[in-house]
Amino acid sequence: MGPQPAVIDAAQAAERARVLTSQLRHHNHRYYVLDDPEVSDAAYDALLDELRAIESEHPRLRTPDSPTQRVGGRPLERFEPVRHLQPMLSLANARSEEELAAWVKRITGLLTKAGVEDAAIDYVVEPKIDGLAISLVYERGVLVRGATRGDGEIGEDVTQNLRTIGAVPLAVEGAPDLLEVRGEVYLPLGAFARLNEQRASAGEPTFANPRNSAAGSIRQLDPGLAASRPLSIWCYGIGAVEGLEFETHSQSLEWLSEHGFKVSPGVERHGEIEEVVPACRAWEERRDGLDFEIDGAVVKVDQLELQRRLGVVGREPRGAIAWKFAARTATTTLRSVMWNVGRTGHMVPFANLEPVIVSGVTVKLATLHNEEDLRRKDVREDDEVIIMRAGDVIPAVISPTAAAQRRRRRSAPPQAPAHCPSCGTETVKPEGSVWTICPNRASCPGQLFQAVKHFVSRGAMDIEGLGEERAGLLLRLGLIANVADIYELRPEALTEIEGFGELSARKLVEAIEASKQRPFNRVLFALGIPGIGFVNARALASRFGGVDALISAAADEVVEQTPGIGPVLAATIVETLAEPRTRDLIERLRGHGLAMEEEGSARGSEGALAGRTFVITGTLPTLSREVATERIEAAGGKVTGSVSGRTGYLVAGEDPGTKLAKARAVGTEVIDEERLLELLAGA
């Protein structure tokens, strides 16, 4: 489904834009709020591109709440302060049944003093999200401002960044004239782990925890950076409102959910305080199974009139309290810094700790990410350190304690090993790199094991039954020497291995065969090429369409076409793809039937523009740059961001800038939109 032809009549354009906007809002809600999409990404993008094209032709139809306007605006120089319509209060804490009972006794007494005797109090129990508290202000149903909590009275205007979050509605049908929604922005734990992996691979500082990463993303001055991170939001209440009244807090949550806001499905209402403690404990038991961080449960008096009568003490509402969970962090002693070799030869430091219990689990080892992170944290042997464990995220050393930092240092900072701990090869540290590496990529047992472990993992080829232990066993027995050998395993060979029966051998071979159905972006990620994490793999697969186009790309093309990849990372990707061993591995995997091109990709040898490279500059009369790019690529062409000797055409609109002069200097043919449309038609 591609963009529709240009709309001739203004009334038709307005109606089509209205229909597209409604459809896109519906699909946004299904994807970001309900986690139940109805259409493919390609189908959604086609609708969005069509709306962009209409708005380009009819600029008056481009409104601030349009689905095309989620990411926009120039980077800010600073965030402006904004006063909240109502103070954003904090919560008192309870850490035991006794403290919760004391709170109930206190509020009951206060209500009696206020003349409300024998009040039948209902309670709402909901998760306490460990994220960044924010306020969303809607006027006549349109989002006009988003702000951080700040000191509760004054926060920072981060509207541009909050608009990039798909779960934040830009417009609310049936909203009152004024509506302030309170929520908590967070980064899912899986996304947090992938983000830290990418940052570590790129030599950038890693985030200490999901909350810090969410807060850091929202406080980026460039909204494009915030948009690149998969943030989400849980909405937990309504602040200031005009033209809408509720009797209970639970009714307000139902209204939010019915009007497109993401509200936790686990919120419960209880008529007896005896039911509240088990409900809080149930959230703590569910904690490790969630894909977002919670640090407690919030208990609120449901009746809003009773909340108003209870009032506020200091900065805390008397009608609500937070039941705090066991800490995710703990302090212990760092016995030593040890080193592993990663799948690309990197020396990866990890901490050998004095065993300590963190949220019910004994932790002996924790990650230190990379050498740069180790240097930045400045932890040394025998230091008292802070560690954190969050859900399925590997325990990590956060920092030395303040006491350890004050003490005089007696030990030297830890250094990367001079020889690989796996194969004994002398290590090297390339100039400008944050990694010391083992150069023995072809036969280092540690690198081979990590490469196979990564290849078969759930986010990559997802080969059920081939876990870490079996992968190591197959390598030790010599049945595989690289990931391509996995596809040559046969049941009869496996049954000779202790622990394998005929059934388990057959099931593993069937799982290996089934993995051939994984899409190209998963194969690209599974290859373990330095710098190609899960997110980058999807972006590269989308932009280049297949491995052959990616192999033939220059580093500057990778940078131009793939948001989030810089020159250094692009150079590493291109160099790795150029290595004979990488090419050989790709060809062997291709021969075994693995996908080396995105399904449905039109970037092949067919199409009117096959083999031609375009650069677009300036403002075109009717086509947006996104729509022009999509149509060129759909016809088999390639679009890059800068002019070079390989550029076939420069498509120039108004205000073309310096690219026009460069195109003329290198002899690139300059065309306008009309000529581009002729080329697209095959003329």
pTM for this entry: 0.53
413 close to 375: Cβ distance less than 8 angstroms: yes
Q: How many CA atoms lie within 13 A of 439 on its CB side?
A: 6
pLDDT for res 392? 45
Cα distance from N-terminal residue to C-terminal residue, the chain: 22
Domains of the chain in sequence order: 10-69 (1.10.287.610), 92-324 (3.30.470.30), 329-406 (2.40.50.140), 445-517 (1.10.150.20), 520-591 (1.10.150.20), 613-680 (3.40.50.10190)
Whole-angstrom Cα distance, residue 287 to residue 277?
A: 15
pLDDT for res 7? 45
Whole-angstrom Cα distance, residue 223 to residue 227?
A: 6
pLDDT for res 509? 95
Distances (CA, A) of 496 to 107, 369, 456, 499: 70, 39, 22, 9
Low-confidence ranges of the chain (pLDDT < 70): 1-8, 31-37, 39-42, 71-77, 199-206, 208, 327, 359-360, 390-393, 402, 405-410, 535, 563-564, 600-607, 625-627, 630, 641-642, 655, 657-658, 682-683
Residue at 406: amino acid letter: R
Whole-angstrom Cα distance, residue 139 to residue 287?
A: 36
Whole-angstrom Cα distance, residue 273 to residue 250?
A: 16
pLDDT for res 683? 47
pLDDT for res 76? 59
pLDDT for res 227? 80
Q: Is residue 128 among the annotated active site residues?
A: yes
- How many CB atoms within 10 Å of residue 666? 12
pLDDT for res 605? 46
Distances (CA, A) of 522 to 108, 450, 470: 57, 17, 21
- Residues contacting 270, CB < 8 A, separation 6+: 122, 123, 124, 125, 276, 279
pLDDT for res 314? 76
Residue at 346: amino acid letter: H
pLDDT for res 410? 60
Strand order across the beta sheet in which 638-640 lies: 638-640, 613-617, 649-652, 669-671
Choosing from 105, 113, 128, 662, which is the catalytic residue? 128
Strands 638-640 and 613-617: parallel
> Within its chain, how far is the Cα of 359 from the centroid?
25
Whole-angstrom Cα distance, residue 242 to residue 178?
A: 5
pLDDT for res 417? 95
Q: What are phi and psi of 186, to 5 degrees?
A: -145, 165
Of 618, 664, 614, 662, nearest to 641 (Cα)?
Answer: 614
SS (H, E, C) 497-520: CCCCCHHHHHHHHHHHHHHHHCCH
Of 334, 377, 339, 369, nearest to 353 (Cα)?
Answer: 334
Whole-angstrom Cα distance, residue 428 to residue 419?
A: 9
Strand order across the beta sheet in which 178-186 lies: 142-148, 132-139, 178-186, 232-242
β-pair partners for 132: 185
Whole-angstrom Cα distance, residue 464 to residue 511?
A: 6
Per residue in 471-490, pLDDT (tens digit) is 999 999 999 999 999 999 99
Distances (CA, A) of 144 to 33, 138, 166, 169, 615: 21, 6, 16, 11, 36
- Written as six digits, the tokens of 149 are 């909590």
pLDDT for res 395? 85
Whole-angstrom Cα distance, residue 284 to residue 295?
A: 8
